[in-house]
Amino acid sequence: MILALVLLPALAGALAFALASNRARRVLMVASAAGHAGMVVFAWLLSPAAIGGWLKLDALGLVTLTIASGLFLASSVYAAGYLEREGRGPRRDFEEGTLFADAPERVFTGCLLLFLAAMTLVTVSHHLGLLWVAVEATTLASAPLIYFHRHHRSLEATWKYLLICSVGIALALLGTFFLAVAGSNSGQEQLPLVLGDLIAAGPSLNRLWLRVAIIFLLVGYGTKMGLAPMHTWLPDAHSESPSLVSALLSGALLNCAFLGILRVVQVSAAASDRAFISGLLVVFGLISMTVAAAFILGQADFKRMLAYSSVEHMGILALGVGLGGAGSFGAMLHSVNHSLTKGCLFLVAGNVLHTYRTKSAREVHGLLRVLPVSGALWVAGFLAIAGSPPFGPFLSELVILRAALDTGRNWVAAVYVALLAIIFVGMSAIVMRMAQPAEAGVDLPAAAGGEAASAILPPLALGAAVLVLGLYVPPALSGLLHEAGLLLEAYQ
Amino acid sequence: MTAAQIADDLLILVVLVDLFTLASSRLGTLIRTVALQGMVLGVLPLVAHPGELTVRTVMLATGSLALKGFVFPWLLFRATRDEAVRREARPYVGYSLSLLVGTVMIGGSFVLGARLPLPFPAVSSLLVPVALSTTMIGLFLIVSRRKAATQVLGYLVLENGIFVFGLTLAVKMPTLVEMGVLLDVFIGVFVMGIALHHIHRNFDSIDTSELTSLKDEP
Amino acid sequence: MGTLVRPELLLLHALSLAAAPLLPGLIVRTKALIAGRTGPPLLQGYSDLWKLMGKGAVYSDVTSWLFRAGPVAGLASVVTAWCLLPSWGVSAPLSFAGDLVLFVCLLGLSRFLTVLAALDTGSSFEGMGASREITFSALTEPALFLALATLARATGATSLSGMLGGRMTHAWGAAGSSLALTAVCLFVVLLAENARIPVDDPATHLELTMIHEVMVLDHGGPDLAFIQYGAALKLWVFQALLVGLTLPVRTGGLLADAAAFLMGMIILSMVIGVVESIMARLQLSRVPQLLIGAGALAAFGLILTVR
């Protein structure tokens, strides 16, 4: 079953390269996404069997996998319509007026499916070496996706993404090796890199090597996750890639990188050294939120604004896990909420971009009039991501705040709330200006043929889910999130 | 000569290659020297563990030798076909200063290596310091050079440094993971080569100081 | 601590002083042979010195006592430095713990005096040469110190005679790679300090390309003889250092050791000649890179012995 989860998108991806007809390819993409989502639902109902301790689907993995699979299903439906709208032949770049071409559709769809396969492998890997291989595979599979519109800006973004993430992940490999050395005095034949073995060997882990490993793994996977100050690839990659790719990057990929860090947290908890990594996570979290706040204020490009918002929320996730206890549960809940909301926002941003042909927030006016559904979703999404009730992120951010206050870290709580407020103000200025009616004399583009169903239904579904989660968390989900949070705490 | 002495000498050769990459400006020479470094590292497990010469170790050694010694240089030479891109242009940190920084890094990594004693015996006491210094020098190359091809070479040096550390665990790592690592690095370099080619076509040079159009305006 | 007591030692030390001018002649002869010419006779250096001693010197009105003192004092410091260096496989005439520092400083002193005399003329050519010389020496002296420090660490002795004595053979077994790196560094320093290609061309007389030659442009007669002899002795000193490092033959017999040393010196001179013939002069902006590279090698060798 676990193998099927990984192999289905991988084989579909390989097949997508081979197919000749674009239409057949799109059908294959949506069908594989639906099949994958179906299998994930199956995995919820009956826990799939582990394969030799290397591949196992535990609570943490299941949360990340569900998010990735759900988001991919929504994005693939959106992609089918998007690819149809893109058309063929060279197009004119609206920012500079030069001509550019798109990447061949087979490369795009194939890499998209391989990307899903790699992310699935990350969620089920319990061998840290295999986890590393899978994370690097996600980088390599997603780089061609960023370079879909083939002009020099997206090439620049792709190059930065490729280089920065590969270097970061190389450092994570070094950290993985250090972790293996830390586990070496447990007297086993093979150095333990399987999560179960490392956790079992917890108290006997060499503390010096463990801490050095934690630093490298945090910096390495943190680069992929988008924690400041290693986040520099994020805004460029998100603003230049097609919106559905940005949705997947923000909503699914960052979570997978976070999973790598969570595995390290599990090991340190077992080694009774949770405090070291917790302190580092809190620091990185607050720095990420600060950097995001600084760059969101006065941001001109609305896709970059969403990218910095992702940096902010990754900071919140790190903060939550760093605080521990109820904070871990809050972080897990927040990862679900953030992914759904950010996915919705990016897909809507794609619609806005398609109609207004500009990425500058100052040139977009009257969104509610021109694109009623997208405009409503844009405003609602902003409210959600900025943490206002009745949406999901409000609840999860509140849980994390409670955790900070309960553990007596009032300064942390104060800075946290202040930064959230600053970001709220910054984003609202940008978003509201876009949604408000235009002044007289400014002509608005006409949405050709209204809004396509494939462009509205996925973000609508995601937005509705966020709203529901803000009012009521189903007990099955809440139970899973609790279980995931407990995995991150110190063992008795 | 004992295995330890051979391993020591090969590791010293690795560091000498590091210093050379910091001082050289010709791309062709750089590609060849980094390939040499990769080949030395491919051979190292064979001489470092002479008593444990299994099919697996031989296969891995041949694999990494072929990959790093021939495939990667070929990919990079193809990506930098044009003669105009073959010389590094005015790096951010000059060559003399790079050499000095590299020497300081080597000294620093020996100090660090003394503070991080391996909990099990390794074939050579130079493994940890050489791994750390090669990693740092690889990172420094990426940061201080303008040409995208030199940045890819810096990434390869970085991976070589990490590989040296992996050698301390040579016997104890499962084959699948080692293969996976090699495969990932290969595909990584392959994709980077393609990107290099596109950059050259788009910008008529591979000078990354021209990749500056994406930024935040205040 | 050695003293000139035994007559054989006295003879050997006098022989080094006398044989020094042979080395530049050997190098020039090698280069000529490689170029297909016959070249000047090996004893040409002696005839040049004899000729120069017989001539008179012309002193410009602008110069001061520095200009007259420079050559003599410079030669004196080189001879003193030579006293510290062991040759022929025996101890140096003078040795004490830590004398390697004095050695480097004396060489620096002789350079300083030459530069002073050059600046004293007030001519821009000499000034140019002097500034280049000092720039390069700022890079070679640390390299030389690092190399000698590595030797000290590897052999456990701090005097030059102790280092290049019997302990060197043992040190090669224990710290071979460090010593190999140090030897390469010392070779580059030798080329730089003695104004050889690829750092400086001793045969050029183009104003813009001279470094060492240009500083002694205004000297004539006995002064020039002292300078040329001093340069030959400096070459002897550096070569003896390198040969002592790379050819640590200590069989116990005086004649065997001395013969091995002589062979080493001749071969090294020929190697220098070959290197000069093969390579071209480096661009002036590249010379610092070469020197820093040599220093880096020595530093790495030192790090390897210290760990």
pLDDT in tens, C14-57: 888 999 999 999 999 999 999 999 888 888 889 999 999 999 88
B102 shares contact with chain C (CB less than 8 Å): yes
Query: Helices C7-19 and C222-246 meet at what angle, rounded to 10?
Result: 120
- Residues A224 and A328: beta-carbon distance below 8 Å: no
A140 with B191: Cβ contact below 8 A? yes
Q: Which pLDDT belongs to residue C191? A: 92
- How many Å separate Cα A234 from the centre of its chain? 11
Determine the distance in angstroms separating the CA of A54 from the nearest CA of chain B, rounded to an integer: 11
C-beta atoms of B100 and C177 within 8 A: no
pLDDT of residue A449 exceeding 60: no
List CB contacts of A444: < 8 A, sequence separation 6 or more: A365, A366, A369, A370, A438
**B31-79 pLDDT, tens digit each:** 999 999 999 988 887 776 666 667 777 887 888 888 888 988 888 888 8
| Separation of alpha carbons C274 and C252, rounded Å | 32
How remote is the C-alpha of C178 from its chain's centroid? 22
CA A221 to CA A362: how far, in whole Å? Answer: 35
Helix (H, G, I), strand (E, B) or coil at C4: coil
Average pLDDT estimate for A112-135: 92
What is the reported pLDDT for A492? Answer: 40
Closest CA to B161 of B139, B140, B188, B135: B135
**Per-residue pLDDT tens digits for A193-217:** 788 878 877 788 888 889 999 999 9
Least confident window among A231-235, B210-214, C18-22: B210-214
Q: For residues B121 and B117, give the distance between their C-alpha atoms in angstroms, rounded to a whole number.
A: 9
Instruction: Flag the least confident range among A100-104, A222-226, A240-244, B19-23.
Output: A100-104
Q: What is the mean pLDDT of residues B4-11?
A: 86
DSSP output for A174-214: HHHHHHHHHGGGG--SSPP-BHHHHHHTGGGS-HHHHHHHH
pLDDT bin (cut points 50, 70, 90) of residue A121 is very high
- pLDDT above 50 (res A475): yes
pLDDT of residue A257: 94
Listed as ranges, residues in chain C with pLDDT below 50 are 1-2
**Which two tokens mark A195?**
């999560």
At residue A373, does pLDDT exceed 80? yes
Instruction: Collapse the DSSP code of A387 into the 3-class scheme (helix H, G, I; strand E, B; otherwise coil) and give the result.
Output: coil
Decide: B101 and B185 in contact? Cβ < 8 Å.
no
Q: If residue C134 lies in a helix (H) or strand (E), which one and from where to where? A: helix C124-155
| Overall residue count recorded for chain B in this entry | 218
Interface partners of chain C (CB pairs < 8 Å, 3 or more) are: B
How many CB atoms neighbour CB C204 within 10 A? 15
User: Quick one: closest CA in A to B211, which residue?
Assistant: A156
Answer whether C110's CB lies under 8 Å from C77's CB.
yes
Q: Which of B142, B98, B38 is nearest to C293 (CA)?
A: B98
From chain C, pick out residues whose CB is under 8 angstroms from the CB of B15.
300
pLDDT value at residue A167? 92
pLDDT at A188 over 70: no
pLDDT above 70 for A490: no
Predicted confidence at residue B51, as pLDDT, reads 67
pTM beyond 0.80? yes
Pull the structure tokens for residue B1. Answer: 């000569």
Q: Which residues of B touch C300 (CB under 8 A)?
A: 12, 15-16, 19, 103, 106
pLDDT digits (tens, 9 = 90+) for A457-467: 888 899 898 88
Q: What is the pLDDT of residue C1?
A: 46
Query: Is residue A487 within 8 angstroms of chain B, CB to CB?
Result: no
3-state DSSP assignment of residue A394: helix
Give the pLDDT score at A442. 66
- pLDDT greater than 60 at residue B161: yes
Pick from C289, C300, C307: CB nearest B15: C300
Put simply, whether C295 touches B (Cβ < 8 Å) is yes
Residues of chain A with Cβ-Cβ distance to B162 below 8 Å are 170, 173-174, 177
In Å, how far is B177's CA from the nearest CA of chain C? 33
Q: Does C292 touch chain B (CB under 8 A)?
A: yes
- Touching B (3+ Cβ pairs <8 A), the chains are A, C
Of the candidates A174, A239, A295, which has its C-beta nearest B165's C-beta?
A: A174
User: What is the tens place of the pLDDT at every residue in A277-288?
Assistant: 999 999 999 999
Binary contact (B214, A156; C-beta < 8 A): yes
Nearest to A230 by CA among A305, A174, A169: A169
Mean pLDDT of chain B: 83
